[in-house]
Amino acid sequence: MIMENKSVKILSAKQISIQAPLLEEWMENPLSYNEDYVRAVDPDFKQFISAGDARRMGKLLKRALATSLSALHEGGIDNPDAIITGTGFGSIENTELFLDALVREGEQLLKPTQFMQSTHNTASSLIGIHTHCHGYNSTYSQKGFSFDSALYDAWMQFRIGRIRSALVGSHDEMSPVFSGFVRKAGHVKEGEICSEAAVSVLLASEGDSAYCTLEGVKLFDTPSENTLSKVLADMTDDGIDAVMTGMSGNSENDSWYRFLDAMLPGVPQLRYKHLFGVNFSSSATGFYAAASCLRNGKVPAVLSASGKPVECSKGILVVNVVEGRHYSFSLLKPVCGR
């Protein structure tokens, strides 16, 4: 059965990144970096995970669990109908440990835990076990488009009436060795901060309090100019306050967003990668930042490309472009009456 009300509420959103973890301090007092590679700032995991469990988990799993449990607690839902996760490469550090042991020891005396935790769907499975959620559980791994795919899956599940709540997240770590590989491969470009991120967003069809509402999600592969123009016209028909872009300061990456200048003239453009860095879960931090702005009713100057704050009364369109060909559009709007 198709939902009569197409909007979905965002009850909570949490992040662990290179900014202060699980907080919104970055909006007023962001941490700044001059390095080209920065690891995430971790919270005290003891408040989420027992010491015994924590010893058996890598950083990615601990961050995924911490953001998820924090989002569920704030949103007031203990057992979501679905857990949908995105990750570019899963637990890289466990993968490296397993392969390093394989080189040193051959095929003898290898630790199975490192292999099991290196798979991409480990985070989603772990969250399901800890929350006793036995419903729909899925993982998407399409590099920088992973969160967008997970969000679109959740949106469609809501639209056809299969679920009433969903925990959607995206989690990626970046080891020192792997950061060098992704930079050489061109996934992180000159002038960009190679970083880590874990983001969890709780969506629900109902709820007494919410950050904002999700009004639509659309994905495209190599869309034409006419398609882009039509999509933007349809999604911004009622007006928006700003468009959240993935501009990072790299000329090649930023050129992918130039179509917005002509198709959304006069609409303030926002950016977030200078605060959260670049990784395969970057679009999740952009989505989180937009939701946080709508929750607080304003866009801080630190996010605005013009350097000026923007009031939020109509909504924010989140746009992500990956490799110049994969496009996603997510429309967030303020909660009525806020």
Q: Average pLDDT for consecutive 10-residue bins of the chain (338 residues)?
A: 73 98 97 97 95 90 97 96 96 84 79 76 94 96 97 97 97 95 95 98 94 98 98 97 98 97 97 98 98 97 96 97 98 83
CA angle 293, 294, 298 (to 5 degrees): 55
- Could you identify the residue written with the tokens 């051959």? 106
What is the Cβ-side half-sphere exposure of residue 317, based on CA atoms within 13 angstroms?
A: 25
C-alpha span between 142 and 138 (Å, rounded): 13
Strand 8-16 and strand 212-221: pairing? antiparallel
Domain 8-204 has CATH 2.40.10.10: no
DSSP 59-117: HHHHHHHHHHHHHHHHHT-SS-SEEEEE-SSS-HHHHHHHHHHHHHHTTSS--HHHHHH
Amino acid at 186: G
* Cα–Cα nearest to 185, from 130, 143, 247: 143
What value does the CA radius of gyration of the chain take, rounded to a whole number of Å?
19
Domain residue ranges in the chain: 8-204, 212-333
SS3 at position 185: coil
Contact between 319 and 244 (Cβ < 8 Å):
yes
H/E stretch holding 198 = strand 197-204
DSSP 220-250: EES--HHHHHHHHHHHTTT--SEEE----S-
Strand 326-333 and strand 8-16: pairing? unpaired
Confidence (pLDDT) at 104: 83
Which positions ≥6 away from 118 have C-beta within 8 Å? 90, 91, 94, 95, 98
Confidence (pLDDT) at 1: 47
Domain 212-333 has CATH 3.40.47.10: yes
Confidence (pLDDT) at 118: 76
Confidence (pLDDT) at 79: 95
* Cα–Cα nearest to 64, from 47, 46, 82, 87: 87
- Using the 8-state DSSP alphabet, how is residue 188 labeled? S
Q: Find the helix packing angle between 92-105 and 176-184, rounded to 10°.
A: 100
Confidence (pLDDT) at 229: 98
C-alpha span between 148 and 287 (Å, rounded): 9
pTM exceeding the 0.85 threshold for the entire prediction: yes
User: Across 123-196, where does the E strand assignment appear?
Assistant: 136-140, 165-172
